[in-house]
Chain A
Amino acid sequence: MTAVLEVEALSCGYGPVPVLRDVTFTVPAGTVTAVLGANGAGKTTLLRTLSGLLRPSGGRIRFAGEDLRGVRVEHLVRRGLAHVPEGRGVVTELTVAENLRLGGLWRRDRVDARRAQDEVYELFPPLAHRRDHAGHQLSGGERQMLAIGRALIARPRLLLLDEPSLGLAPKVTAQIMALLRRLRDERGLTVLLVEQNVRTALWVADQGIVMALGRVVTAAPAARLRDDDQLRHAYLGF
């Protein structure tokens, strides 16, 4: 299986404070990889470094075989890397339709962009009903759908999702996770998922990466993390 993302010895910090230390892992194509760990482990920083919002102090990032060093944030979405940030990033002053259009503006193929938009409405009926509502009128779950839908319009190869379940009711979280599974199964979408809700994450993931204090402490297939009690106790605390 080809790797969509290869991270090698990645380090990053805020000024003199290191947050990521020597992080190495790969994300195979067509899989869901969950990044787990306690608060402050560096999970969000990892995603922000991958999408270029933070500049790494060392290490390499290879996306679909190409080095991402020096690539500007705005250009990553063209290469197929979509990042739904922590807090979802719905532009609340714009409507649902405008948010979605925003996701596809960079695309030259306007017809396909339009088609992708219709697909998103099909995927998320609640959004179709609230097309002209402003972002701040949506519920948490709807915003999550909008954020993911907006990212999907770019037809990404890799989707970075930062804590999608945050602030959502369990039922809605389950829907979102089921959706991710569907996207992986039906479209071969690769997902790198940061989650605090470990159980949920392991249910949908193929592999899990556990981080602590900025380092990767273990990377294992999700099944093992679920079933191996010792492993689970040691790294996930339950």
Chain B
Amino acid sequence: MQRFWFLTFDGLAAGAVYAAFALALVLIWRAARVVNFAQGAMAVATAYVGYAVASATGSYWLGLAAAVLSGLALGALVERVLMRFAGAGGPLNQVIVALGLVLVIQAVLGMIFGNGYRPAPAPFDTDALTIGGVAALSPYDIWVLGAALTVVALLAVLFTRTPVGLRMRAAAFAPEVSRLLGVSVGRMLTLGWALAAGVGALAGMLVVPTGLGLHSHAMDLVFVVAFTAAVVGGLDSPVGAVVGGLLVGLILSYVTGYLGPDTTPLAVLVLLLAVLLARPGGLFSAARARHV
């Protein structure tokens, strides 16, 4: 029973990261109808920036800020320079361009930083606290949960209560009509990508310390899991992304905990296939109301 609680907390902490990452994917999907397959590689790149700044200045927090800022910039850049032009050739085009971007980013990172794992220390203690004899969350886990949920809340407020959020939603739902109403749809698209990449950057900084270290391929599996989470929640639904992330984090934690760590990849694959075959729309698929 103790083990169950430990796994639950562990799963929630991991799930929070997946939730943030999945949210980034959903953001771009809603804005541009494309899955950003480069999200993982972009997050790794910004994590490298973050830790470079952190070790140069001695402050993890400066590094975190640098990572998020470079994420915002990278997202905007990718949209303006690449994705804007990639859509013209068809839906496959953007995916392939994103994959090309993955290859380039990972190769450049390898060239600059080498192929080994770099140390990525966590800002807080990663040992689990014991509450009433039960191993619960570590201080780091609490930070992860707090940061991820704060970002989610901020985004929710941004989208539902601010003018720019309204513009972004309108631009995503009905681009042509929005233009007629004076919304600069192109700018909103860039903003959407920037935000998504920023969130991805934060998620990257949160997850890297929990792994083997900083490496150009560090986010490969995270991307696949986050994609699974987004699919589970329904690509169209931000709430679904968050719930999906937490759910997938929990499921994986239990599977890994009870069946062994080697089974994790297989579990992810089985989960993804199961969801796509049974409920392709995800758990939270809202009826897609076309604008009339």
Q: Is the CB of B169 within 8 A of A103?
A: no
Q: Is the CB of B174 within 8 A of A89?
A: yes
- Inter-chain CA distance A191–B169, complex, in Å, is 29
> Could you tell me the distance in whole angstroms from the C-beta of B129 to the nearest C-beta in chain A?
43
Q: Is the CB of A53 within 8 A of B176?
A: yes
State the total of A-B contacts with C-beta under 8 angstroms: 81
Interface set of A (CB-CB < 8 Å, partner B) = 51, 53, 73-78, 82-83, 85, 87-94, 98, 101-103, 105-106, 134-136, 143, 150, 154
A-B contact pairs, 12 of them (CB 8 A): A51-B180, A53-B179, A74-B179, A74-B182, A83-B180, A87-B292, A89-B176, A90-B292, A94-B166, A94-B173, A101-B163, A136-B289
Q: Which of A83, A91, A101, A134 has the most CB of B within 10 A?
A: A91
Which chain B positions have C-beta within 8 A of A105? 163, 166-167, 181-183
Which chain B positions have C-beta within 8 A of A102? 166-167, 170, 178, 181, 183
Known contacts A76-B180, A83-B180, A106-B182, then 8 further A-B pairs from the complex at CB < 8 Å, ordered by chain A residue: A74-B182, A74-B183, A77-B181, A91-B177, A92-B290, A105-B166, A106-B183, A136-B292
Which chain A positions have C-beta within 8 A of B180? 51, 53, 73, 76-77, 82-83, 85, 89
**Closest chain A residue to B286, Cβ basis:** A93
* B173 CB contact (under 8 Å) in A51, A91, A103: A91
Interface size class of B (residues with CB under 8 A): 20 to 34
- Inter-chain CA distance A75–B178, complex, in Å, is 11
- Inter-chain CA distance A38–B169, complex, in Å, is 36
Which 6 A/B pairs are nearest by Cβ-Cβ distance? A106-B182, A89-B177, A136-B289, A77-B182, A92-B289, A73-B179
Which chain A positions have C-beta within 8 A of B176? 53, 85, 89
- Inter-chain CA distance A19–B176, complex, in Å, is 20
**Closest chain B residue to A107, Cβ basis:** B182
Mostly, the B contact residues are helix
Which chain B positions have C-beta within 8 A of A53? 176, 179-180
- Inter-chain CA distance A101–B169, complex, in Å, is 13
Interface set of B (CB-CB < 8 Å, partner A) = 163, 166-167, 169-170, 173-174, 176-185, 289-292
Q: Is the CB of B185 within 8 A of A74?
A: yes
* A98 CB contact (under 8 Å) in B166, B184, B289: B166
- Inter-chain CA distance A88–B181, complex, in Å, is 13
Q: Is the CB of A94 within 8 A of B170?
A: yes
Residues A91 and B291 in contact in the complex (CB < 8 Å), given A53-B176, A101-B166, A102-B178 = yes
**Closest chain A residue to B164, Cβ basis:** A105
- Inter-chain CA distance A142–B182, complex, in Å, is 23
- Inter-chain CA distance A83–B178, complex, in Å, is 11
**Closest chain B residue to A83, Cβ basis:** B180
- Inter-chain CA distance A96–B37, complex, in Å, is 35
**Closest chain A residue to B236, Cβ basis:** A93
Which chain B positions have C-beta within 8 A of A73? 179-180
* B181 CB contact (under 8 Å) in A92, A136, A150: A150
- Inter-chain CA distance A103–B167, complex, in Å, is 10
**Closest chain A residue to B288, Cβ basis:** A93
Residues A85 and B291 in contact in the complex (CB < 8 Å), given A94-B169, A98-B166, A102-B170 = no
Which chain B positions have C-beta within 8 A of A154? 181-182
